[in-house]
Amino acid sequence: MTDKEQRYPQRVRNTLRFRQLDVLRVERISAGFQRIVLGGEALEGFTSQGFDDHSKLFFPQPGSVFVPPQVTDEGILWGEGPRPASRDYTPLYDASRHELAIDFFIHEGGVASDWAMHARAGDTLTIGGPRGSLVVPEDYAWQLYVCDESGMPALRRRLEGLNRLASRPQVRAVVTVGDEAYKDYLAHLSHYNIEWVVGHNPQAVVEALASTQVPADDYFIWLTGEGAVVKTLLGMFERDDIDPQRVRGQAYWHNK
Ligand SMILES: Cc1cc2nc3c(=O)[nH]c(=O)nc-3n(C[C@H](O)[C@H](O)[C@H](O)COP(=O)(O)OP(=O)(O)OC[C@H]3O[C@@H](n4cnc5c(N)ncnc54)[C@H](O)[C@@H]3O)c2cc1C
């Protein structure tokens, strides 16, 4: 592996496990986010190495019994009956407390969002994964993060990780929120250069990024949010002078 390749984000695989976890606490940690803290014996061995990992959360119909699938050498064995709705969320694992937090952005008409609003201590939630991680070096000299509310938990996890570095890289984050009040979720990270775009306006995000000067080397670009927006943003960074291995773009949700 060349020195340059060693500086690329690296994929790692985890053994897939489905876990039925207990809701330990429910906390309204921000104007826009409901935190559900999960624990229990099944959390044993949980690992998540990438700041933008995802776990799949399962939401069975109220009153129905959901038996988590079994992972076998032949693949995943699902039980009888319809599979419940599932959604991807960023795992926020605290190894010192052996607890897993999930921060749900609360919005209209969502299975996951509604579940989070009604969850109570003692409820259970089945999660799968993370199945794999992209481990992105923390010390790239120049780093750009673009997201909306759905990516704020991953961004928060990342910036809290960077806080622990002896010397902080140059970070720019462009975060779009539907309401000014949602900024409070990142208030403790205001020592980073976070530019806010208030009111979902994809054009304003494009304009904020239009004059971005990407350095020749040692950079990382992370683009997430609504699918069509991410596609547009990715297009802005598909250039001959930008290494695609240093650009990560991922749709976090779709406008339906
Ligand atoms: C890798 C990854 C990590 C993610 N991590 C998180 C996380 O930690 N926290 C988090 O809140 N989300 C996260 N998301 C996004 C989350 O999975 C989606 O927002 C999901 O659609 C929410 O499910 P729901 O059941 O609440 O809404 P759905 O039933 O999927 O959608 C219901 C309606 O709400 C709209 N909608 C969905 N999401 C949003 C949104 N974010 N803002 C506004 N409208 C929306 C839909 O277009 C639809 O009209 C992540 C997604 C990915 C891919």
User: Could you tell me which residues come within 8 angstroms of residue 167 by beta carbon, excluding any fewer than 6 positions away?
Assistant: none
Residue type for position 121? A
Q: What is the pLDDT of residue 5?
A: 64
Domain 10-132: what homologous superfamily? Translation factors (2.40.30.10)
Radius of gyration of the chain (CA): 19
pLDDT digits (tens, 9 = 90+) for 144-166: 999 999 999 999 999 999 999 99
What are the backbone angles phi and psi of residue 223, rounded to the nearest 5°?
Answer: -125, 115
- Inter-residue contact 36 to 9 (CB < 8 Å): no
Which of 102, 107, 179, 254 for a ligand 1 pocket mutation test, highest count of atoms within 8 Å of Cβ? Answer: 107
112 lines ligand 1 (CB under 6 A): yes
151 CA distance to ligand 1 middle (Å): 10
The partner residues of 196 in beta bridges, in order of sequence, read 175
Query: Tell me: domain 136-253, CATH 3.40.50.80, correct?
Result: yes
Q: Looking at the chain, which residues constitute the CATH 3.40.50.80 domain(s)?
A: 136-253
pLDDT digits (tens, 9 = 90+) for 92-145: 999 999 999 999 999 999 999 999 999 999 999 999 999 999 999 999 999 999
Distance CA 108, CA 157 (A): 25
Measuring CA to CA, which residue among 100, 122, 86, 126 is closest to residue 46?
100
* CA 102 and chain centroid, separation: 10
pLDDT digits (tens, 9 = 90+) for 187-245: 999 999 999 999 999 999 999 999 999 999 999 999 999 999 999 999 999 999 999 99
Which of 106, 200, 252 for a ligand 1 pocket mutation test, highest count of atoms within 8 Å of Cβ? Answer: 252
DSSP string, 25-45: EEEE-SSSEEEEEEESGGGTT
The partner residues of 72 in beta bridges, in order of sequence, read 75
